[in-house]
Structure 1
Amino acid sequence: MSGHSHPHKHKVEGKNLLFSIFLNILITTAQVVGGIISGSLALLSDALHNFSDVLSLVISYVAHKLSHRQATLKQTFGLKRAELIAAFVNALTLIVVAIILIYEATLRFFNPVTIAPSLVIWMSVLGIVANGLSVLLLKKDADHNLNMKSAYLHLLTDMLASVAVLVGGILMKYFHIYWVDNIMTLVIAVYLVVVGFDLLKKATFMLMLFTPEEIDIEEIIDEVHKISGCAHLHHIHVWHLNDDELHLEAHLDCSEDITLSQFNTLSHQIELVLYNKFGINHVNIQPGYKKEGPKDFIVQD
């Protein structure tokens, strides 16, 4: 028997993502030109990151659209996991971009380049304003969706990178501290590695169908066993289909040889407990009574 709970949730829209893509194309173009003219690696690195943002935002947008396609006989879950794949890809790009920046910044320490700080300052201000607007647009969606969070993190790190570039530009212009451009690049890169790894870990765990970190299976077992009529829960699997759907499937030994209508009532009680206490909104229970076979909580099917 299976059951669904579909409470009202924040509806993630794609239009904010589309607007952010447009903004980032403008920023990237301006920063590439500005970086080449000024000679600033931090500005060019910011442009590179912005370009990766354009790609990641496009990936996020396409995945968002795909995830809303209807299920079919060939795709019984639809394409709901497309957003998890997008989040995984975007997390990888954050880390790859960071490694490139670290390499380039290290080279610049040994081969200094003359930089035009005024242009760096104005380009970084442009980046702060445009990315800041995109960050505000995606903030609410990011709290409810891993794919949107991956896009949001790309934009947030870009905004922080632009702030770092601005600080570097001011220090270069008024204090002639030119090596700060490289330092700021390294700081940006380290931050990218940290946030990228965290996102990559979450996306990987979901794609691999790991039990969510916030879920305690032993606690689930204890709560279900408290319900009258439940003798033994086993063969348990708990996983995220996507950000919105948390699934549980399990076998349940009933304490009595009950009818199907009685099991309907029992399964409804289980669904309420699992949703209210653990947020599990899709439950699939296979009932049994004195059935032979392995009865471990976790069984490799």
Structure 2
Amino acid sequence: MKPIIGMIAGLAALLSGGGAVAQSCDGVQPQPLSVEGAQTFTYAQASGRPLKIHVFRPAGPAAQPAPAILFFFGGGWRQGSVIQFVDQVRALQAKGYVAALADYRVFCRDGTTPVAAVDDAGQAYAWLRAHGADLNIDPRRVVLAGGSAGGHLALMTALRADPKAVPAALVLFNPAIDLTGPLTRGVNGMKPDDGPGISPALLDLAPLPPMIILHGSNDQLVPIETIRTFCARATTAGKDCRLEEYAGQPHGFFNRRTPDPALGTSPYASTLAQVSDFLKQRGISPAP
């Protein structure tokens, strides 16, 4: 949770100040080179270090090819841990998915901007598809997922995908969709001209697959109104956009394990159930 808390504190300070503020990179650790229970591969070399992808394969003998889901962590494109979604990945692995976590470059580790992160996410997705046969993945059922900055990367990867390799679906936890405003202004080395070309809120949504967005109504970093507008625009364009609003929840709520009386369970369990339901309804879940 520390990377999420740090991101929220830093970006909240940026928003409250109305402009750029200095954000420390103190305490940001290197990414782990392996994750327990996963097969780890290098999908690219960039900025003098290997970029890893950690793949969790279903237990038992391989039968027919399985659906896959690739997660990108959040952290404001400055920090964040590749294991942020490790519990969701293990839960989906147990259901029969090939589930993966991808590292990518961030400012505090690599001195890079969100532009580089978008490039890395595209390479991670391309690597997973290229090695799909070895990993027993069904290429027609590959899903992209992520939270906050990671949700942005999942969206941008889908928008930039080759028409023959568009993901089967998107799973987005409070995704950042507009990089022209205060979320990135004056930080991360972003240039003014960088934002529009990597802002899903401003781009043609025709390439997008079905998507589920899980968002708190009290999100102060990515206001719910912007997500409602985005989903409505996608629906108008003929896209399948399912928005699940969580009343009163803030940014990064989806990993909270404390039971919420309004939900009857924890935000973590509720959002995971919503994701499983969404993928099952769209024929992307593993065979029973």
Query: Does the pair score TM above 0.5?
Result: no
Greater RCO structure (CA 8 Å; 6+ sep)? 1
In our comparison, the structure showing a higher alpha carbon Rg is 1
Determine which structure has the larger helix proportion and give its number. Answer: 1
TM-score if structure 1 supplies the norm length? 0.26
TM-score if structure 2 supplies the norm length? 0.27
